[in-house]
Amino acid sequence: MAFVITATATQLVVGALVVSTAVTAYGQIEAGKAQEAALKAQADQERIAAESRELDRQQKLNAALAANAVGLGVSGIKAEGTPSSLALESAENISLSEGMTKLSDRLAQAQLLRQGKAARKAGQYGAASTLLEGGVKAYQATK
């Protein structure tokens, strides 16, 4: 009779270990998914903010170009020669700056998405590790 009680107690311990391990593994997977979703949302917010900054830059650039054109017109200076080449060089510099800003924004968004994928994978690997540890503990409990 004592053997039956011992076997039942061992089975209860193994069962508790299995359930505990499964719940922990599930929690790790879900935490990884939640972190990935949060980082995706952050990347979307960054994209929207970048579009807003781009629109603001465009409006400021248009206002500056219009002010320059009005200034040249009022002063009687023709937009030929040096003023024209200065305006062209300024436009090229602005274009280069905008390109770098867009690239920086896209890289920041891509980094957030990579972090999200890494978080999901970390959750999966953590869950796999927990399952293996739980299996070892359950095996040792039967010995």
pLDDT in tens, 128-141: 999 999 989 888 88
- Domain limits for position 64: 2-142
Total count of domains within the chain: 1
Q: DSSP string spanning 31-55? A: HHHHHHHHHHHHHHHHHHHHHHHHH
| Amino acid sitting at position 29 | I
Which residues, 6+ apart, have CB-to-CB distance to 35 below 8 Å? 116, 119, 120, 123
Tell me how far apart the alpha carbons of residues 40 and 52 are, in angstroms, rounded to a whole number.
18
**Predicted structure pTM score:** 0.67
- The radius of gyration of the chain's CA atoms, rounded to the nearest angstrom, is 31
- Coil, strand or helix: which one is 78? coil
pLDDT tens digit sequence for 55-83: 888 888 888 777 777 776 677 666 565 66
Under 8 Å between Cβ of 35 and 119: yes
